[in-house]
Structure formats: structure tokens, C-alpha cells
Amino acid sequence: MVAIRLRHPQGVATIQVALDRDDFTVQDLQQEIFASTNILPSRQSLKAGYPPHPLTLIPELPLASLGLKTGEQIIVSELPDKSPATRAPTASSIPSRASTLSSGSFAAPAPVSPSVLSPSQSSGPDYVETDGGVLVHRVVPDDNSCLFSAVALVFEQSISKAPEMRQIVAEGIRKEPETYNEAILGMPPSQYINTILKPSTWGGAIELGILASHFRTEIASIDVETGRIDHFSPPADQAGGMRCILIYSGIHYDAATLAPMVDAPGEWHQTVFPVQSSGTSAEEDSVLVAAKKLADILRAKKAFTNTATFDLKCEVCGQGLKGEKDARAHAEQTGHVRFGEY
């Protein structure tokens, strides 16, 4: 058992949790928090890390899915009582497996009907209806490996394959030392490889480019805040004419997949799609149209974080800060590493 520090509306507390036991779940953590704070699990909002970011609470997953460390501080706040129309997704509503169809069996999705946008569901993940099914927001744990989990969900049928995605990135850097040199990586390649293999390290554009090349599939990342689509494409001579969709919130990646119905089993989901448009044009591609509408739903819910502009406060000295850049600079100058959002 290890100690986890809580900061909650009534003060501070310390709880004991089993980070290294698979049978100690997120639900167990929430029960411990309830015992210390009297905040019901259904109304708990938890943040951790640096800068603090929301934790995706999927009760049935092991506690390790949250990426917590010994001595971690969790910021606990209480959500307002939620009506059924705004209830958060539950673990049972989030499919656990991705598509098992072969690449040769994918059919072009039917065009999206613009009149069937779903602004909010009574339960389960957000989605956009199409004439041929629904494009579903597939949430992965917020554990510093979200990019790798989302890609693993798309290509390897399970988020448990996230560490293998890190290995693919490491091997891609080793194979192309001229492309991925110190100037591009910001550090010696060997150091970058050692860093990216750690489960606590976030991934970004470099990793998406390497993974797109490895799987010979374009990765389209849609920014929730702006609706911008960033296309990470394999070399032209390796492209397979397929595309997958990731949803980016500013600090977190999820996937979007197509299913015949929103609560369909994960193995029924189609995770990659024939490219119907190239470059940055989305108007002619029905999947990209649906994905942009899905981003609209999440934007309306404020489900994004602008890391350059969000307001932070140092919880050690109380100094106000603007964005991740200020927080990092303050930490380097003072050694203070506990921050919260205003």
C-alpha cells in the first residue's frame, strides 16, 4: 500500500491505495476518497499530474490505468448532481475491443446526414449518427499513454497493446537516424528513445508520424477546441489508402470508430476507413464530416484544455500562472510542482 494525498473542498487528507495490484480498481480508489471526503463516487471529479489534468474514471479498470505514482497528489472536487441527460459515460458503455475486420473488407461508409447530430446522450459515449451507423467517441484512460492507447485500440484491438506502440516508435527512430536526429527530437536519439519508452511520457506529432508510417495508414487527429484536422500520412509509396480518426482535447487523445449502433460490441466497430479525400479537405469525406461534428459536440461540452492559456495557481506559494509554459518555468525556478486550475 502507498500513500496518496488528497486536496478536497474540506481540506487535505491521505489515503492508502494498492498501486501494484490488478484487483485494486478505480472504483476502490473512489470508495477510499468517499470515506475521506463524503463525496459520492458518482460526483467525484479528480485531477492529478503536472500540470493537473482530469482523470478518466472507468470504475472496473485497475487503479494502474490512471498512471498514479507513489506520493501523488489528487485534487478532488464535487460535481453538481447530474440528471440522466448529462450523466457521464460508464465503463460498461465503453467498448473494450476494436475492429477485427481485415483491411480488404472495409467498405466506404455511408454519407453523414447532417440532421442527425447527437448533442448529448442519456448515457454512454458521445456519437454522431450516419446513414450507415454511428461514429462513436472511444474513450481511453487518461494515464499519460492515451496517444498510444488510442492507436492500439485502432490497430491492435486492445489498449493493453499501448507499450508495443511505444516500441514501434523507438524502432522507427533507430531505423531513420537521419530523419529523427537531435535537431528534430530536441535531444540525442538514444535519450529520446529511453524517454518515450517510459509509461509516464506523453506522445505527440513525432510519434503519430512514425505510427502512421508503420501501419501504412493516415492518422487524422481532430482538435476539439479548433476543429482543425492534422493529417499524419505514411510515405506515398507505402500508403494503403486508409485512414483512422483520433480526437485530441489539448492534453488527451481518444479514438473515433464506426459501429452499427452506439452500444455495439467492440468487435463490431470499424476502426480504419478508405480515404475519400486527400490533404486537408474534409468536405468530401463522410467520416471526416462526422468526426468534425463529433468534435463540435465535445467543444460544446468544453471537453478541451488550452494548455497555452489556461489559468493555474501554484499551490505552494499561491502565485498565479498562465499556461503550461509558465508552470514549467516556475517549477524550474522554485522547485514547486503542485499546481491547480483556477
Active-site residue, selected from the candidate residues 8, 126, 137, 146 = 146
Active-site residue, selected from the candidate residues 8, 252, 269, 330 = 252
Higher pLDDT, 152 or 27: 152
Is residue 71 left, alpha or beta, with left meaning phi > 0 and alpha meaning psi from -120 to 50?
left
DSSP string, 23-47: TSBHHHHHHHHHHHH---GGGEEEE
Task: Give me the percent of the chain exceeding a pLDDT of 70.
Answer: 77
Lowest mean per-residue pLDDT among 98-112, 191-205, 258-272: 98-112
* Residue 232: per-residue pLDDT: 94
Quickly state the pLDDT bin for 206 (edges 50, 70, 90).
very high
As a 3-state breakdown, the chain gives helix, strand, coil percent values, each rounded to 5, of 35, 25, 45
Quickly state the pLDDT bin for 306 (edges 50, 70, 90).
low
Active-site residue, selected from the candidate residues 8, 53, 126, 143 = 143
The mean pLDDT value of the chain amounts to 78
Active site residue 269: no
- Residue 99: what are its φ and ψ, rounded to 5°? -65, 140
* Residue 231: per-residue pLDDT: 93
Decide if pLDDT at 213 tops 80: yes
Active site residue 252: yes
DSSP β-bridge partners for residue 248? 223, 253
* Residue 321: per-residue pLDDT: 77
What are 140-192's pLDDT values in tens digits? 988 889 999 999 999 998 999 999 999 999 999 999 999 999 988 888 999 99
Higher pLDDT, 40 or 215: 215
Active site residue 28: no
Active site residue 214: no
What are 90-130's pLDDT values in tens digits? 332 222 222 222 222 233 333 333 333 343 444 578 889 87
pTM score of the predicted model = 0.58
Quickly state the pLDDT bin for 85 (edges 50, 70, 90).
very low
Distance CA 206, CA 182 (A): 13
* Nearest alpha-carbon partner for 112 in 126, 131, 127: 131
* Residue 159: per-residue pLDDT: 93
